[in-house]
Structures are given as C-alpha cells and as structure tokens.
C-alpha cells in the first residue's frame, strides 16, 4: 500500500474516532484513546483505557501515546501546530 493511501486511511480512521468521541459527549477533535487517558482517574474511563490498550496490544501504551500526540497537535497539518 502506498504512503498516500496509508495516510488517507489514517486520516479517515482519526475522523471516525473523533466523531464517535463527540457523539459520546467528548470534544470534537479529541480521539477516544486520548480522552480515555486524559480521564484515566475516573470511572468508566479507567476501564476504557485498559480495554483500548488491550485492543491495541501492538502499540504499547496506546492511550498515553494518543494523548501526547493530541497535546502536540500531531494530527494537524504542520503549519497549524504550535
């Protein structure tokens, strides 16, 4: 699969993830994984974080990594990152 196709799939997956998070009452541009890590001290997000990290077993500390990427605004075009 070419890099441009992979990039497209990644962007669509992020958009769907953020849509589901917004529908569930979260911020529109935050992923479910980042939200689960950000709110990890509260129930049910503690369980969500565990389940998401288990689902993404190949990506160690997936929720924490997603949260840190959100803080660095890595999902935005480079010129919009601060």
Residue 77 tokens read as 């075009």
The C-alpha atoms of residue 24 and residue 16 are separated, in whole angstroms, by 12
The C-alpha R_g of the chain, in whole angstroms, comes to 13
pLDDT at position 76 is 76
Unique residue bearing structure tokens 């939200």 = 35
Q: Measuring CA to CA, which residue among 41, 60, 31, 37 is closest to residue 49?
A: 37
Q: Indicate whether this model's pTM tops 0.85.
A: no
Over residues 1-59, the pLDDT tens digits come to 688 999 899 889 889 999 999 999 999 989 999 999 999 999 999 999 999 999 999 98
Model pLDDT for residues 24-34, shown as the tens digit of each residue: 999 998 999 99
How far is Cα 26 from Cα 54, in angstroms, rounded to an integer? 22
Band (pLDDT 50/70/90 cuts) for residue 82 is: low
Please state the domain extents for the chain. 3-80
């Amino acid at each position: 699969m070419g890099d441009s196709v992979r990039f497209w799939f990644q962007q669509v997956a992020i958009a769907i993830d953020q849509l589901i998070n917004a529908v569930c009452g979260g911020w529109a541009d935050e992923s479910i994984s980042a939200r689960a890590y950000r709110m990890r001290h509260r129930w049910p997000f503690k369980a969500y974080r565990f389940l998401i990290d288990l689902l993404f077993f190949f990506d160690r500390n997936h929720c924490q990594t997603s949260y840190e990427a959100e803080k660095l605004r890595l999902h935005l075009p480079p010129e919009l990152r601060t």
